[in-house]
Amino acid sequence: MADALKELRSALNATSNDGGFEPGFSSADITARIDQVIQDLSPKFSELYNMVPKESITEPTYIWNVRTTDNSSTRHAYTYSENTVASSTNSGTPAQGNKEQLTAVAKTTRTDWEVENFLRDAAFYDAVSDEIQNAISVHIDDLEKQIVTGTAASGYGSANGFLGLRQIVNSFVTIGDTTSVYGITRTSGKTYMDAQVVDAATATFDIGYLDSAITKIRKQRAMPGMFVMSYERWDEVNAQLQAQQRFTGSINIAGGFQVMTYNNVPLIRSRYMDKAGESNTDTKVFLIASNNLVLKTFWDIASVDADLGRLDSTGGYIKSAMALVSKRLTQNCVIDDLAVPN
């Protein structure tokens, strides 16, 4: 009997039986205790996603009109003087402005989750709740990525997703962008599709570029709403402000986040802005006009249980259907062609 027990113990401790709880100590006759707190490495917050307002839509396609030319003030209606007939020299018909119809289609995003039933029934933690919370975190992170890079190629966006800032805040006249935005292709003669541009010409970042962008937005009869930049660029901004003994304020945004401001304009960071420039580089900063960016939401973020067709697992997915809309494209600005941060 003793020899049989020794043989069993030897077999259980064999290298071929490893792969359990702990490397080197994973035999079946050793009890291991697992920490009940899951060490989750996925992102748990997004300044940008919380900064962009959401508005519900009842149809997946959102349509609006943008003015392409103003009403003309060079022609005047008949003018009259007291006790005289209409003056024929100033006669004419006021010219009517033109408008173009733009379209945004809400795109579906889905994040799956699954739990094996033996783990679901474990008493030491709620595996299903943990997986759903993780899926929500991953889902929001993916939405932030789409907000910034949109349909960019090379894995830095989602070809089947909605347009992002990289496509929306751009220009044909200054940068040569020919992207189709909201159903209209940028080209000459369609300046109503172009954002304002501050061209850094590959120079190192200077705080003056932020001032120039604010000025351009104000000259478009708009109020600056938020700067969007990478974490590395934000470090550059902060370092220059400290060196010049210029200090910023801060505001609280949705989700309980506190963000820094420059000239009362929030500085919003995104971990995907380092891929927002040409060739997926950290060469751009966006300035969005106030009340000029919204996530039109056909389906808000929701958790759905799904039949996986297997008896050993429970699962579901997180879904949403949204489109990023900026109605007045000329009232945004891009600081373009910056040197990549050190």
Each residue's pLDDT, cut to its tens digit, for the chain (342 residues) gives: 556 655 545 555 555 544 444 555 455 555 555 555 556 565 667 899 999 999 999 999 999 999 888 776 554 555 555 555 555 555 555 667 789 999 999 999 999 999 988 777 666 678 888 899 999 999 999 999 999 999 997 778 888 999 999 999 999 999 999 999 999 999 999 999 999 999 999 999 999 999 999 999 999 999 999 999 999 999 999 999 887 766 567 777 766 678 899 999 999 999 999 999 989 999 999 999 999 999 999 999 999 999 888 888 889 999 999 999 999 999 999 999 999 998
**What's the CA gap between 195 and 157, in Å, rounded?**
21
pLDDT score at 21: 47
**What's the CA gap between 183 and 313, in Å, rounded?**
43
Rounded to two decimals, the pTM is 0.82
Q: 1-29: string of b/e by CB count within 10 Å (b at 16+)?
A: eeeeeeeeeeeeeeeeeeeeeeeeeebee
Q: Domain limits of the chain? A: 107-336
pLDDT score at 255: 62
121: amino acid identity, one letter: D
What is the token pair recorded at 37?
Answer: 């707190």
Q: Do the strands 285-289 and 333-336 form a parallel or antiparallel pair, or are they unpaired?
A: antiparallel
Please enumerate in sequence order all residues whose Cβ is within 8 A of that of 208, keeping only pairs 6 or more positions apart, or say none.
none
**What's the CA gap between 261 and 266, in Å, rounded?**
4
| Strand ranges, E, within 179-240 | 180-181, 184-185, 196-199, 224-229
pLDDT score at 307: 87
